[in-house]
């Protein structure tokens, strides 16, 4: 059996890392950027931290700020128009998962125009050329889109999210700079942080997991478990730790896949625009219980990584301890307890379950789920 690992060509870490953007652009000889971001990040001054450096260096750029949470096909098409009008030769993605994912889709389609309908990118698309070069600057500690080969787009017409998996979309350079993340509201730090924890836990137990990704995921769980509460409380050093932890989780899950938590979370975003991290966080303990008997001793290792003493516990007890540790973290950072608090309607459960069953992430779950079982999990979480 062979295992593949794909990562960024270059990543910069630490406060002030965005100062390396100008040398990277200069070294590569790029002429003009299209910055892909959202209006909120323009308004709060986050984007200006990047554009000020470009202005000082005399590097031209245009800005596309039309990205919305859970970006849609129409948003991607607007971004394509913006790129073509800009005469840019590279992209800068500034933001959380939504700007990063939109940027990937734009970059892929520009260099692979046969996928301009966007829908045909679902799954593992047979693109032939690498995307337009992307400089990725995350502003949240959760999605790790800056290091993954995945992106997610919402089909508003069909009320569904679809996952795209493409080695051609990975950003060329990533700048993991906590200075760009300090301004996150506490609720966003919590949601994106548990999203990162979900990536690490699902990546650790997914069917494709192997020894190298196990090491990455366990380290990510350890960092997130010890740092998220303090990050939400506004501790600068914890924000920086979360930036690293979510990136390490991305290094792993991007190469082995996820599971049923993400499969069930994606429809919630498509139906109700539920924040992805919130959906993952609420679902995670329920799906962990559902999967427990199919994970060997991995929950024991999760519990230990989260700081739980399992020395005298049985295997069954360690599984329960791991789940309880996740539930406690959710409570401590203010995650809603039930999906109804996040806007889910009980009448939609059958449609949600069908969409989850068909989601590409669901196939990586260690326990093969049926439609009826997914319905039951949604009802438990409701």
Per-residue pLDDT tens digits for 266-296: 999 999 999 999 999 999 999 999 999 999 9
Kind and range of the H or E run holding 34:
strand 33-36
DSSP, res 220:
H
Over range 72-96, report the average pLDDT.
Answer: 97
Residue 1 has pLDDT above 90, yes or no: no
Over range 6-20, report the average pLDDT.
Answer: 96
Residue 27 has pLDDT above 90, yes or no: yes
Residues in the chain: 382
Report the C-alpha gap between 54 and 65 in whole angstroms: 17
Task: Yes or no: say if 93 and 36 are a contact pair by the CB < 8 Å rule.
Answer: yes
pLDDT of residue 341: 94
User: Which CATH code is given to the segment(s) 186-381?
Assistant: 1.20.1090.10
How does pLDDT run across 222-243, given as a tens digit for each residue? 999 999 999 999 999 999 999 9
Over range 246-251, report the average pLDDT.
Answer: 98
Query: What average pLDDT is seen over the chain?
Result: 96
Q: With cut-offs at 50, 70 and 90, classify the pLDDT of residue 183.
A: confident
pLDDT of residue 29: 96
Over range 148-170, report the average pLDDT.
Answer: 93
pLDDT of residue 324: 98
pLDDT of residue 193: 96
Residue 190 has pLDDT above 90, yes or no: yes
Over range 297-305, report the average pLDDT.
Answer: 97
Query: In Å, what is the CA distance from 158 to each residue of 69, 153, 163, 173, 356?
Result: 17, 12, 14, 34, 14
pLDDT of residue 286: 98
Report the C-alpha gap between 254 and 33 in whole angstroms: 26
Report the C-alpha gap between 341 and 335 in whole angstroms: 10
Residue 303 has pLDDT above 90, yes or no: yes
Over range 134-146, report the average pLDDT.
Answer: 95
How does pLDDT run across 253-262, given as a tens digit for each residue? 999 999 999 9
Domain over 10-180 is classified CATH 3.40.50.720? no
Over range 63-71, report the average pLDDT.
Answer: 95
Report the C-alpha gap between 372 and 179 in whole angstroms: 45
Over range 200-229, report the average pLDDT.
Answer: 98
Report the C-alpha gap between 154 and 133 in whole angstroms: 23
Where exactly are the structural domains of the chain?
A: 10-180, 186-381
pLDDT of residue 109: 98
Strands in 122-216 per DSSP E: 134-138, 150-155, 160-165, 173-176
Residue 159 has pLDDT above 90, yes or no: no
How does pLDDT run across 324-348, given as a tens digit for each residue? 999 999 999 999 999 999 999 999 9
């Amino acid at each position: 059996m062979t295992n593949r690992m794909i990562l960024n060509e270059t990543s910069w870490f630490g406060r002030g890392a965005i100062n390396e953007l100008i040398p990277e652009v200069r070294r590569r000889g790029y002429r003009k950027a299209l910055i892909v971001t959202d209006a909120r990040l323009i308004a709060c001054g986050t984007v200006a931290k990047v554009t000020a450096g470009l202005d000082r260096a005399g590097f031209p750029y245009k800005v596309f700020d039309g990205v919305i949470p859970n970006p849609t096909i129409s948003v991607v098409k607007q971004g394509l128009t913006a790129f073509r009008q800009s005469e840019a030769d590279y992209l800068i993605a500034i933001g959380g998962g939504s700007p990063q994912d939109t940027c990937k889709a734009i970059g892929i389609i520009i260099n692979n125009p046969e996928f301009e309908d966007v829908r045909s990118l679902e799954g593992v698309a047979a693109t032939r050329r690498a995307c337009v070069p992307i400089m990725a600057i995350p502003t949240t500690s959760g999605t790790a889109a800056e290091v993954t080969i995945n992106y997610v787009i919402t089909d508003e017409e069909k009320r569904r999210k679809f996952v795209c998996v493409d080695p051609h979309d990975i950003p060329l350079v990533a700048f993991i700079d906590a200075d760009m993340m300090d301004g996150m509201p506490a609720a966003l730090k919590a949601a994106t942080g548990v999203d990162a924890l979900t990536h690490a836990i699902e990546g650790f137990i997914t069917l494709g997991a192997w020894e190298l990704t196990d090491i990455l995921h366990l380290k990510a769980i350890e960092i997130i478990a010890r740092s998220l509460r303090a990050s939400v409380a506004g501790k600068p050093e914890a924000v920086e730790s979360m930036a690293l932890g979510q990136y390490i989780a991305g290094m792993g899950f991007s190469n082995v896949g996820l599971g049923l938590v993400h499969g069930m979370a994606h429809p919630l975003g498509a139906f109700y625009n539920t924040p992805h991290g919130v959906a993952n966080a609420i679902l995670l303990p329920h799906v962990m219980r559902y999967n427990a008997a199919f994970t060997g001793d991995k929950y024991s290792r999760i519990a230990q990584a989260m700081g739980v003493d399992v020395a005298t516990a049985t295997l069954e007890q360690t599984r329960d301890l791991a789940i309880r540790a996740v539930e406690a973290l959710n409570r401590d950072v203010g995650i809603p307890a039930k999906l109804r608090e996040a806007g889910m309607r009980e009448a939609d459960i059958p449609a949600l379950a069908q969409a989850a069953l068909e989601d590409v992430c669901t196939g990586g779950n260690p326990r093969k789920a049926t439609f009826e079982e997914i319905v039951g999990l949604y009802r438990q979480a409701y």
